[in-house]
Amino acid sequence: MQRHIDGYATDVPKFPCKFCKFHHGKHGFRRRDHLVQHLRGYHKFDDEEVREACPATKKLRILQLPTCPHRGCEFFRDDSFHKLKLSEQMSQKPFSTQSALSKHLKEIHKQTPFPCDVEDCEKVGAKGYIREKDLMKHRTAKHPEATEYNPKPRQSVYPCGIEGCVKTYSSASQRHHHRLVKH
C-alpha cells in the first residue's frame, strides 16, 4: 500500500529513464522496480550498470509485526506492544516474518487458519491449511459430495484516497497509512 501511495503522490513519476527520450517527465516510471526492469530489458544493462544508474533506496515498511494471539505464550504481545515506537517493537518482535508465525501456530499450538470443516477429515489442527485457496482445492478433490464451501468474509476495504486512484486497502493498512501521515 505504501509503495502504491508513494508512486501516485505526485503527478510526475519519481523514476525517469536518463538513457531514452520517451521515459522522462510524466512518462517516467512511478516505481523503481519498473525502471530497473526497463534498464535490464530495453537497455540490456547488467546488474552493476543498473546499480549505478538507479541506486537502491532502503525504506522499512511494516504494517504490523506478527505476534502470537495465544495469551500465556512467550510470543504473545498485547495492545501495548503495538503502541510502542517502531524501533522498540523491532527490538522486541517475536517473529521475523509472517511465515515464522504460521509455522509457530502450526507446530506449537496445533492450529492453522483454514482447517477442513468436513466431518471426520484428518486435515484439521496442525494438518489444516495456511491458505484458504488450498482448503478449497482439498475440498473439491477429496470431498466432492460435501456442501458448497463458503469462503470466510474478507476484511472491509477502503479507497486509497488519492485523487483518481481506484485501489482499496484493508482497514488496518489504511489506519497505518493515517498514522504515517500524522507523524
Count up the domains in the chain and report the number.
Answer: 4
Residue ranges making up the domain that contains 140: 113-152
The whole-angstrom separation of Cα 63 and Cα 76 is 18
Buried b (16+ CB within 10 A) or exposed e, 69-90: eeeeeebebeeeeeeeeeeebe
Average pLDDT, the chain: 81
Quick one: 41 and 83 in the same domain? no
Work out the percent of the chain whose per-residue pLDDT is above 90.
39
Quick one: 119 and 143 in the same domain? yes
Residues with Cβ within 8 Å of 66's Cβ and at least 6 positions away in sequence, in order, are 93, 94, 95, 97, 98, 100, 101
Quick one: 72 and 95 in the same domain? yes
Does residue 51 surpass a pLDDT of 90? Answer: no
Categorise residue 119: left if φ over 0, alpha if ψ from -120 to 50, beta otherwise. beta
Q: Identity (one letter) of the amino acid at 37?
A: Q
Q: What are phi and psi of 168, to 5 degrees?
A: -130, 160
Does residue 178 surpass a pLDDT of 50? Answer: no
Quick one: 95 and 120 in the same domain? no
Quick one: 137 and 174 in the same domain? no
Task: Give pLDDT tens digits for 8-50.
Answer: 666 677 888 999 888 888 888 888 889 999 999 999 999 889 9
Quick one: 107 and 117 in the same domain? no
Quick one: 105 and 67 in the same domain? yes
Q: Identity (one letter) of the amino acid at 130?
A: I
Quick one: 8 and 40 in the same domain? yes
Q: What is the pLDDT of residue 54?
A: 86
Q: What is the pLDDT of residue 60?
A: 43
Q: What is the pLDDT of residue 8?
A: 67
Residue 3 pLDDT grade (very low, low, confident, very high; cuts 50, 70, 90): low
Q: Which residue has the higher pLDDT, 163 or 122?
A: 122
Residues with Cβ within 8 Å of 85's Cβ and at least 6 positions away in sequence, in order, are none
Buried b (16+ CB within 10 A) or exposed e, 24-49: eeeebbbebebbbebbeeeeebeeee
Task: Give pLDDT tens digits for 104-148.
Answer: 999 999 999 899 999 999 999 999 998 899 999 999 999 999 998
